[in-house]
C-alpha cells in the first residue's frame, strides 16, 4: 500500500486513537498522541511485558495492543465490543488497517467482555465499567482470564463517598449515543477485585485527571517484585506503606 | 400438589415444627404459629403491603427465594390460580432446611403450592412465564443482581415485585453500595444496597413502564418495595395501587424519597 493509498484508507474510518503510521500519517483520533503516550507510560512503564500473553479488552483502534507488541509481548488478543460493533463504529477494521501499516500481525475478537475467555498473564481492562450494563459480570469474565496482572481503567464517580459504590451513567460516544454503564469509586473497584481473587491492588488517578482512575491488581501467582516499578502517584490500596 | 397427611394433634404438630429452624412465622392452625425469625406481626404487615393492592384471582405467581413459603401461601390464599415457590440456597442449606419447613406448612394448610429448586443466577424462561413474579428479600443477597434482574424480566408477563434492603438513600445519583465480606449486618451473603433512583433506572432499562414504590411497612426506607409493570399488564392489576404507593416515574418522585442527612 502506497502512502497515498494508506492516507485514503485511513480517511474511511472513524478513529479514537491518534496512531502514528508510516509516511508521516497520523490517524485523526479524538485522543491525541501525547495523551495516549502518557497513558501508555502509566500502564506499561512500571514493568516488563517481554514474553507476556496480553488481553487488550477495550482495544479501540489498538494503540495499547501495538504498544504491548512493541514492548515484547509474545501474544496480544485485542477485543472490543461497542466501539467495534455499533453502527457508527469501525474500530476492528481500523485496528487491522493500522496493524498492517505497522507490520504487526494481530488477533482480534469483537465480543462483550462477558464472552471473553482464555488465559493471559496481563489484562488491560479499558473503559468497560462505563460501557457495560453489567460490569459485575464483565469484571468476573476478565478476572477469570487473568493469571497475573490486571490493569483496569475506568470512569469514576462517588469519589466523595467512603462506601464502596458504583453509580449508573448514560454516556454519548462518537460511535453511539446513550450507552448505559456505570462509574465505580476506588473502594468499590478494590473490593470487587479482592472478591474476584486478586490480592494486591494499586491505584492512581488517570494522567488526564481524577474523573478517571487506573488500577493494577495482582493475582496471588504474581511475583511481588512486579510492583517495584509502581512508584508514586501509585498508591497500594491493600498494603499501604506504614508511615515512617 | 397437596400432600395428604393424617391430622396431627396440636402437640405433635408443634413438635414437628420445633424440629426445624424457621424464618417465616406462618399460622398453621389457630394458636399454632411457626417460630420464624421474622415475626408474625412483620409477616402480616409485609403481606398486607405487598398483596393489598393486587388482584391475584386467576393469575400465576412465581416466588423467587420463597424460604418457608409464607408469601407463596399468601398468594394462593388470595386467589392465585397457580403458585410456584422456588429457592435454592436456603432449601439446600444444611442448617436452615427451608424446604422442609415449607412442605410441613403446605401439608398442614392444604394449599396447592408447587415447588422447584431454582438458583436465581440460573433462572431461565424454561421455568415458564408468570403473571406476577415476587422477588422478596433476594436482590441484596446476590453477587450479581444485575444479571438476575434481566433473568427476572424474562419470566415476568405482567408484574415484578422487588423487596430489598436499600442504601445510599442520601445520594441523588442512581447507585448501589457494595458490602465486602460480612460488613452488612455480619452476614457474608449480603452484597449490594441499591437506592430508589437506581432501582427505577434498572427497572426502566428492563422495559418496565409503570413503577410504583413504597417504603417497607415496619422498617421504613431502609427497605423498599417496587411494583414494576410490563406493557402487557392488565389495568385490573394496577388499579389497587393507592396513596400508600408512589408512582416512581412521576417527575420529582425519586428526589422526594431522598433522606437528607
Residue-wise pLDDT for A86-103, tens only, equals: 887 778 999 999 999 999
Chain Cα centroid distance, residue A24:
26
pLDDT of residue A176: 86
| Lateral strand order in the sheet of B192-194 | A176-184, A165-173, B175-178, B192-194
- What Rg do the C-alpha atoms of chain B give, in angstroms? 18
C-alpha pair distances (Å), B172 with each of A45, A158, A167, B175: 39, 11, 10, 8
Q: Is residue A2 part of a domain?
A: no
C-alpha cell at A72: 515484547
Domain of residue A213 covers 33-222
pLDDT of residue A88: 77
Q: Are strands B82-87 and B60-64 parallel, antiparallel or unpaired?
A: parallel
Q: Is residue A66 part of a domain?
A: yes
Q: Is residue A19 part of a domain?
A: no
What is the ipTM metric for this complex? Answer: 0.92
Q: Is residue A105 part of a domain?
A: yes
**Would you call A168 an interface residue with chain B, using a CB distance cutoff of 8 Å?**
yes
* pLDDT mean over A118-124: 98
CATH number at residue A202: 3.40.50.150
In chain A, how many domains are there?
A: 1
Distance from CA of A234 to the nearest CA of B (A): 23
Is A191's CB within 8 Å of B171's CB?
no
* pLDDT mean over B5-18: 89
Please say whether the beta carbons of A21 and A2 come within 8 A.
Answer: no
CA-nearest residue to B181 within chain A is A195
B102: helix, coil or strand? helix
A:B CB pairs within 8 Å: 54
The DSSP letter of residue A218 is E
Q: How far apart are CA B256 and CA B201, in angstroms?
A: 16
Residues on chain A touching B201 (C-beta within 8 angstroms): 168
Distance from CA of A114 to the nearest CA of B (A): 11
Q: Is residue A228 part of a domain?
A: no
Residues on chain A touching B144 (C-beta within 8 angstroms): 134, 136-137, 140
Please say whether the beta carbons of A229 and A46 come within 8 A.
Answer: yes
pLDDT of residue B182: 87
Distance from CA of A187 to the nearest CA of B (A): 9
Whether the predicted pLDDT of B188 surpasses 90: no
Residue from A163, A201, A237 to probe the interface with B (highest B Cβ count within 10 Å): A163
**Terminal Cα-to-Cα distance of chain A (whole angstroms):** 59
Q: Is residue A124 part of a domain?
A: yes
* pLDDT mean over B182-192: 89
Kindly list the structural domains of chain B, giving each domain's residue range(s) and its CATH number in brackets, ordered by start: 39-257 (3.40.50.150)
pLDDT of B13-65, one tens digit each? 999 999 999 999 999 999 999 999 999 999 999 999 999 999 999 999 999 99
Distance from CA of B233 to the nearest CA of A (A): 25
Q: How far apart are CA A15 and CA A18, in angstroms?
A: 7
Residue from B176, B192, B200 to probe the interface with A (highest A Cβ count within 10 Å): B176
Q: How far apart are CA B189 and CA B243, in angstroms?
A: 34
B251: helix, coil or strand? coil
Q: What dihedral do alpha carbons A116, A120, A121, A125 form, nearest 10°? A: -20
Q: Is residue A212 part of a domain?
A: yes
Q: Is residue A242 part of a domain?
A: no
pLDDT of residue B167: 97
Please, what is the average pLDDT of chain B? 95
- Confidence band (pLDDT; 50, 70, 90) for B111? very high
- Confidence band (pLDDT; 50, 70, 90) for B260? confident
Amino acid at each position: 500500500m502506497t502512502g497515498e493509498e494508506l492516507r485514503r484508507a485511513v480517511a474511511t474510518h472513524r478513529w479514537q486513537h491518534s496512531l502514528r503510521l508510516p509516511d508521516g500519517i497520523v490517524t485523526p483520533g479524538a485522543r491525541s498522541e501525547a495523551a495516549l503516550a502518557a497513558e501508555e507510560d502509566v500502564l506499561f512503564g512500571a514493568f516488563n511485558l517481554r514474553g507476556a500473553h496480553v488481553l487488550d479488552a477495550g482495544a479501540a483502534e489498538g494503540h495499547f495492543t501495538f504498544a504491548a507488541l512493541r514492548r515484547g509481548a509474545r501474544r496480544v488478543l485485542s477485543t472490543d465490543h461497542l466501539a467495534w460493533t455499533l453502527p457508527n463504529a469501525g474500530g476492528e477494521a481500523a485496528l487491522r488497517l493500522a496493524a498492517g501499516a505497522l507490520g504487526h500481525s494481530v488477533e482480534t475478537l469483537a465480543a462483550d467482555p462477558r464472552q471473553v475467555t482464555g488465559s493471559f498473564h496481563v489484562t488491560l481492562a479499558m473503559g468497560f465499567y462505563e460501557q457495560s450494563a453489567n460490569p459485575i459480570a464483565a469484571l468476573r469474565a476478565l478476572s477469570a482470564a487473568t493469571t497475573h496482572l490486571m490493569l483496569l481503567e475506568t470512569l469514576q464517580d462517588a469519589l466523595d463517598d467512603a462506601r464502596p459504590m458504583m453509580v449508573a451513567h448514560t454516556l454519548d460516544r462518537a460511535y453511539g449515543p446513550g450507552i448505559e454503564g456505570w462509574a465505580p469509586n476506588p473502594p468499590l473497584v478494590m473490593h470487587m477485585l479482592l472478591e474476584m481473587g486478586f490480592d494486591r491492588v494499586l491505584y492512581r488517578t488517570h494522567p488526564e485527571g481524577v474523573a478517571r482512575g487506573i488500577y493494577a491488581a495482582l493475582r496471588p501467582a504474581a511475583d511481588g517484585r512486579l510492583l517495584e516499578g509502581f512508584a508514586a502517584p501509585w498508591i497500594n490500596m491493600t498494603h499501604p506503606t506504614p508511615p515512617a | 400438589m397437596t400432600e395428604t397427611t393424617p391430622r396431627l394433634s396440636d402437640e405433635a404438630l408443634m413438635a414437628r415444627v420445633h424440629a426445624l429452624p424457621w424464618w417465616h412465622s406462618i399460622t398453621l392452625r389457630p394458636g399454632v404459629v411457626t417460630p420464624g425469625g421474622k415475626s408474625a406481626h412483620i409477616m402480616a404487615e409485609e403481606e398486607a403491603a405487598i398483596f393489598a393492592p393486587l388482584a391475584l384471582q386467576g393469575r400465576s405467581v412465581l416466588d423467587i427465594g420463597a424460604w418457608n413459603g409464607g408469601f407463596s401461601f399468601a398468594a394462593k390464599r388470595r386467589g392465585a390460580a397457580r403458585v410456584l415457590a422456588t429457592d435454592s440456597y436456603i432449601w439446600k442449606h444444611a442448617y436452615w432446611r427451608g424446604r422442609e419447613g415449607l412442605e410441613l406448612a403446605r401439608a398442614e394448610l392444604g394449599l396447592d403450592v408447587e415447588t422447584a429448586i431454582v438458583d436465581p443466577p440460573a433462572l431461565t424462561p424454561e421455568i415458564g412465564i408468570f403473571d406476577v413474579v415476587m422477588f422478596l428479600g433476594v436482590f441484596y443477597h446476590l453477587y450479581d443482581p444485575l444479571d438476575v434482574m434481566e433473568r427476572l424480566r424474562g419470566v415476568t408477563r405482567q408484574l415484578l415485585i422487588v423487596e430489598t434492603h436499600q442504601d445510599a438513600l442520601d445520594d441523588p445519583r442512581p447507585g448501589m453500595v457494595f458490602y465486602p465480606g460480612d460488613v452488612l449486618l455480619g452476614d457474608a451473603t449480603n452484597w449490594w444496597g441499591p437506592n430508589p433512583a437506581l432501582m427505577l433506572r434498572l427497572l426502566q432499562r428492563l422495559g418496565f413502564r409503570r413503577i410504583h414504590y413504597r417504603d417497607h411497612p415496619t422498617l421504613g426506607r431502609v427497605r423498599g418495595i417496587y411494583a414494576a409493570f410490563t406493557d402487557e399488564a392488565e389495568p385490573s392489576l394496577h388499579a389497587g395501587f393507592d396513596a400508600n404507593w408512589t408512582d416512581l416515574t412521576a417527575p420529582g418522585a425519586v428526589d422526594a424519597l431522598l433522606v437528607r442527612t
